[in-house]
Amino acid sequence: MKLTVVGTGYVGLVSGACFADLGNQVICVDIDEAKIEGLKNGVMPIYEPGLKEIVERNHEQGNLKFTTSIEQGVQESDIIFIAVGTPSAEDGGADLSAVEAVAQKIATNLNDDKIVINKSTVPVGTGDWVEEYIAKHKTTEHDFTVVSCPEFLREGSAVSDTMEPDRIVIGSNDQQAAETLDQLHQDFGAPIIHTDRYSAEVIKYAANAFLATKISFINEIANICELTGANVEEVARGIGTDHRISDKFLRAGVGFGGACFPKDTKAIVKTAQEYGYDFKVVNSVVEVNKLQKKSLVTKLKQILPDLAGRTIALLGLAFKPNTDDMREAPSRTVVKQLLEAGAEVKAYDPIAMEEAQEIFGDDIEYATDAYDALKDSDAALLVTEWNEFQELDLLRVKNLLQQPILIDGRNCYQPAEMKEEGFIYHSVGRPAVTKEDLLAFEEIAATGE
């Protein structure tokens, strides 16, 4: 089939490349000229495992084209995906200005009957609005239909999530369009869920709000564990083996970030508000997450109350491993808190350094690797659970730091191991190793009692 994907970001580029790999003719459109120029020359605008190969292969074979001309994209395809960003507006709702800009171009370039698919995450009713918008502004008599086909890929595993999705949701009020989209998606081999358009739009927000709720829930359980002396990992294991709960999304940590959960939780709260409904659960999820992002520095201040003039090593900047995305990343809150407290920050991330430089500029120091960040720092904060941070040479870490203080926001190490290695160690929802614990431990080791 002939497809155009408008918006060549995480969703648009990955979806476009995967559809091309399945034998479709795909045009990826973006307003960002540098991005399109780069892609034509094999430069990936984002880091995603496996993406470069699939893009290059299909670009070379001619299945995947890149252009800034949305006119060309609309005119040369039968199916047009809208995959532009829908960031948070000031009031917490979704900013649909990019969707509107695309709808406008579709309306004025309708040279044949088309299916318009909304893949961007948009509030319920946006399909109606896009339909009305195109109908009002179209300059020809050609027909079109608007379908909601929300995207569920995760950054860091976007290619495999797209190629092997858990399910595909097609929200269409038009039977014929739904059948065409069934055909388009059949090679993914996933269950297809057909719904009306409103329900498909709500499914996306409900899924993200539910997952975010699980994260904030386990983070609050972790806080209770810290107060009571329980261990959140044991608790998560104990509840996660219950099939009704499942063990996914039960890892306590420093809060969720990224391009989706923060904005989508706020947006569904806003939609509810617009309908006169107070979505209390998700409101709390958002509040809990804000506090959780601050928890690492709170713990650090318990050990080093005055951070002014201290150098703090930050391990991990991306909002999660295997991506360079720093949108709403917990590291941003942590850096802000540290700088406000007068500390110097020395940061390292395996992939997100360029991204970080754009955000923090000269406000922080950029290390060449984890050990460089740790060298002569007063303490270390582990913010993103990249594999390489889970396999650090702990003796080397201890020798490089001014003081052996590690605050682990992702529970990468075990408290007992850290005690043996001689670290003052705080993690999330598990017993901390304090200076007093270390002294007592050393005494026992010395006297053999």
Q: Is position 153 an interface residue for ligand NAD (rule: CB under 6 A)? A: yes
Compute the least distance from the CB of residue 401 to ligand NAD, in Å.
35
Question: What span, in angstroms and rounded, lies between the C-alpha atoms of 15 and 28?
Answer: 10
Compute the least distance from the CB of residue 394 to ligand NAD, in Å.
33
Q: Is position 359 an interface residue for ligand NAD (rule: CB under 6 A)? A: no
Query: Which stretch in 83-91, 230-238, 331-339, 381-389 sits in contact with ligand NAD by CB under 6 A?
Result: 83-91
* Through-space distance between the first and last CA atoms of the chain, rounded to whole angstroms: 75
Q: Is position 171 an interface residue for ligand NAD (rule: CB under 6 A)? A: no
Yes or no: say if 125 and 146 are a contact pair by the CB < 8 Å rule: no
- Based on the number of CB atoms within 10 Å of its own CB, is 174 exposed (0-12), middle (13-18) or buried (19 or more)? middle
Question: What span, in angstroms and rounded, lies between the C-alpha atoms of 290 and 54?
Answer: 37
Among 21, 76, 155, 355, binds ligand NAD (CB under 6 A): 155
Beta partners for residue 192, in sequence order: 168
Q: Is position 147 an interface residue for ligand NAD (rule: CB under 6 A)? A: no
Q: Is position 328 an interface residue for ligand NAD (rule: CB under 6 A)? A: no
Q: Is position 350 an interface residue for ligand NAD (rule: CB under 6 A)? A: no
Compute the least distance from the CB of residue 276 to ligand NAD, in Å.
25
Yes or no: say if 171 and 200 are a contact pair by the CB < 8 Å rule: yes
Which DSSP letter does residue 156 get? T
Secondary structure of residue 234 in the 3-state scheme? helix
Compute the least distance from the CB of residue 252 to ligand NAD, in Å.
22
Burial 410-432 (b: 16+ CB within 10 A, else e): bbbbebeebbebebbbbbbbbbb
Q: Which is nearer to ligand NAD, 6 or 250 (CB)?
A: 6
Q: Which is nearer to ligand NAD, 215 or 259 (CB)?
A: 259
Secondary structure of residue 202 in the 3-state scheme? helix
18, 28, 149, 260: which one is catalytic?
Answer: 260
* Structure tokens belonging to residue 297: 């520095």
* DSSP H or E segment with residue 407: strand 405-408
Q: Which is nearer to ligand NAD, 155 or 355 (CB)?
A: 155
Q: Is position 121 an interface residue for ligand NAD (rule: CB under 6 A)? A: yes
Q: Which residue is nearest to ligand NAD (CB)?
A: 9
Among 47, 54, 66, 85, binds ligand NAD (CB under 6 A): 85
Q: Which of residues 22-41 bind ligand NAD (CB under 6 A)?
A: 29-32, 35
Q: Is position 101 an interface residue for ligand NAD (rule: CB under 6 A)? A: yes
Q: Is position 84 an interface residue for ligand NAD (rule: CB under 6 A)? A: yes
Q: Is position 130 an interface residue for ligand NAD (rule: CB under 6 A)? A: no
Among 3, 4, 5, 8, binds ligand NAD (CB under 6 A): 8
* Structure tokens belonging to residue 253: 């940590």
Compute the least distance from the CB of residue 136 to ligand NAD, in Å.
18
Q: Which is nearer to ligand NAD, 149 or 296 (CB)?
A: 149
Compute the least distance from the CB of residue 118 to ligand NAD, in Å.
9
Count of other CB atoms within 10 angstroms of residue 39? 25
Among 3, 9, 289, 408, binds ligand NAD (CB under 6 A): 9
Nearest partner of 168 among 144, 145, 195, judged by Cα: 195
Compute the least distance from the CB of residue 31 to ligand NAD, in Å.
4
Nearest partner of 147 among 185, 93, 186, judged by Cα: 185
Compute the least distance from the CB of residue 442 to ligand NAD, in Å.
47
Count of other CB atoms within 10 angstroms of residue 180? 19
Sequence-distant (6+) residues with CB within 8 A of 61 are: none
Nearest partner of 327 among 361, 363, 359, 289, judged by Cα: 359
* Structure tokens belonging to residue 95: 């900013």
Q: Compose the 58-77 pattern: x for residues touching ligand NAD by CB under 6 A, - for all others.
A: ------------x-------
For residue 52, give the amino acid letter.
Answer: K
Among 5, 17, 64, 98, binds ligand NAD (CB under 6 A): 98
Active site residue 18: no
HSE at residue 55, side-chain half, CA atoms within 13 A, is 28
Stated length of the chain: 449
* Structure tokens belonging to residue 357: 């430089």
Q: Which is nearer to ligand NAD, 117 or 382 (CB)?
A: 117
Q: Is position 334 an interface residue for ligand NAD (rule: CB under 6 A)? A: no
Size of the site for ligand NAD (CB under 6 A): 27
Which residues bind to ligand NAD, rule: CB under 6 A? 6-12, 29-32, 35, 70, 83-86, 98, 101-102, 120-121, 151, 153, 155, 259-260
Catalytic center residues: 260
